[in-house]
Structure 1
């Protein structure tokens, strides 16, 4: 089935690579490769210290946009080690990842995520809200965990703004483990999240929200997750550090979206 909106593929570089030189090289390879990829929105999210270096490489490219891995909800103040949204805006950031499971594991709460989502929208950037269960159980209690995260993150967002929000389903048990949710798992969760959004905002708004999959995505699993899992793209971790594989995943997303 042909998708109703453009797929989105985000490369979350996490705490990689080790130097700005390597970051610039990776960004250069991705930028060059996107000249052969159409029909997909591509984002790279390097560590904060490398944002300016990567921005120089992208140089206003419309094929690759700049993302950030996190941000504080306050615009400034005594928050050692944090980065504000005005700082990110000044570096050209368009997308901001919020509530990644690795941030939640470090103590980030649903309340924190909620405040960050609103702050990102207020700063006129696009939040990528990460949700997902730590483990699955036969009684489907994991669905309650995901619903709680979605409702907390989206509470109070207007219908006009909700359509720009991106939600990334990332089962914690799949992140960095080599284990990937099956296409059926991804499809089930996309439908479930859409039902929550429909309950909150109505079908028209819910249909505008892009729902991505994240969790050990590779060039070998991407096609089935897009076609059978019906997700709208990917939040890619380790594979995004290999330009050729990241570009292959982006190509698969673009091709599958037109089927």
Structure 2
């Protein structure tokens, strides 16, 4: 379901170094959000952490949810070293990121990604699907490429599952860059993605899908993407790995 409050997703990637540090971070974050609540700021977060930490962090979350950064596109069977989406969901993990550019760079194709999206949604995981161009061209062909990728990934996904789907617009050229995409550039792509969704599944199903932005978001730019960028939330990398920065962004996004 499309959310009325900002969807702020943190991606810890391969940090922190150990479980003790991870628990201390979440405890400190929760303490800060408790303080914000006393000021009538009801901040809420989604934190995608290394798999090995995930279930150990869930007991410490009151104002947030714990997820993974990827899942396997496999169902129950006789395969070694595989954890299925339904297994993940059974542990209390509520969401996953899929299709991140760093995962795709290791060889994940659109067919595999489509299978993962289907299984993730069937397992009732909130599914954050990343899409984004590696570069922009003056002719705007990148918009058509994004639309085509989205259609290929979602073509065989059951429309009834779309209420648990989130699209993360992640321009690859902006990830880790000193300057993110502008809010105008973001808004242009959001319109294109919404049009592609409406064409693929109809307006009513398309309305259920939230779109968030990821790519070098800072404390100073976070709120502007929500207001002027046309997005429903943010996907944060490094900004979610630093307690003060993450808390400041959450406060900014949830403050009236």
Aligned to 1:167: 167
Structure 2 spans left out of the alignment, 5+ residues: none
> Which residue does the alignment assign to 1:32?
31
Give the Cα separation in 1 of the matches to 2:68 and 2:170: 17
Contact 1:7 1:39 in 2 (8 A): no
> Is 2:53 the partner of 1:53?
no
Cα distance in 1, alignment partners of residues 74 and 236 from structure 2: 27
Which residue number in structure 1 is paired with residue 207 of structure 2? Answer: 207
Instruction: Check the 8 A contact 2:110/2:149 in 1, yes or no.
Output: yes
Partner Cα distance (2:132, 2:236) in 1: 15
Write the mapping of 1:62-73 to structure 2, written as runs, cut at 5 A. 63-73=63-73
Report the alpha carbon displacement of residue 209 of structure 1 after superposing the two structures with TM. 1.0
Tell me how far 1:54 sits from its aligned partner. Answer: 1.2
Report the Cα distance in structure 1 between the residues aligned to 2:177 and 2:203, rounded to whole angstroms: 35
Q: Secondary structure at the match of 1:216?
A: coil
Distance in 2 of aligned mates of 1:216 and 1:83: 31
Any conservation in 1 of the 2:3–2:232 contact (CA below 8 Å)?
no
**TM-score for the superposition, normalised by structure 1:** 0.90
Asked if 1:44 is matched to 2:43, the reply is no
Is the alpha carbon distance of 1:110 and 1:47 closer, same or farther for their aligned partners in structure 2, counting shifts above 3 Å?
same
Over aligned residues, Cα RMSD in angstroms? Answer: 1.8
Q: Which residue of 1 aligns with 2:247?
A: 247
- Mean Cα displacement is larger for which, 37-46 or 191-200? 37-46
Distance 1:39 1:232, change over 3 A: farther
Match of 2:4 in 1: 5
Instruction: Determine the C-alpha separation between the residues in 2 that align with 1:6 and 1:79.
Output: 40
Aligned length: 250
| 212-221 vs 29-38, greater mean Cα deviation | 29-38
In 2, the alpha carbon distance for the partners of 1:197 and 1:130 equals 14
Q: Distance in 2 between matches of 1:57 and 1:87?
A: 21
Q: For 2:10 and 2:70, how far apart are their aligned partners in 1?
A: 14
Residue 140 of structure 2: aligned partner: 140
Q: In 2 relative to 1, CA 182–107 (structure 1 residues): closer, same or farther, beyond 3 Å?
A: same
Q: Which runs of 4+ in 1 moved over 6 A?
A: none
Q: Answer whether contact 2:27 2:60 (CA < 8 A) is retained.
A: yes
Shift of 1:79: 5.4
Question: Is this contact kept in 2: 1:70–1:98, CA < 8 A?
Answer: yes
Q: Show structure 1 runs of 5+ residues with no match.
A: none
Residue 78 of structure 1 and its aligned partner are, at CA, apart by 3.1
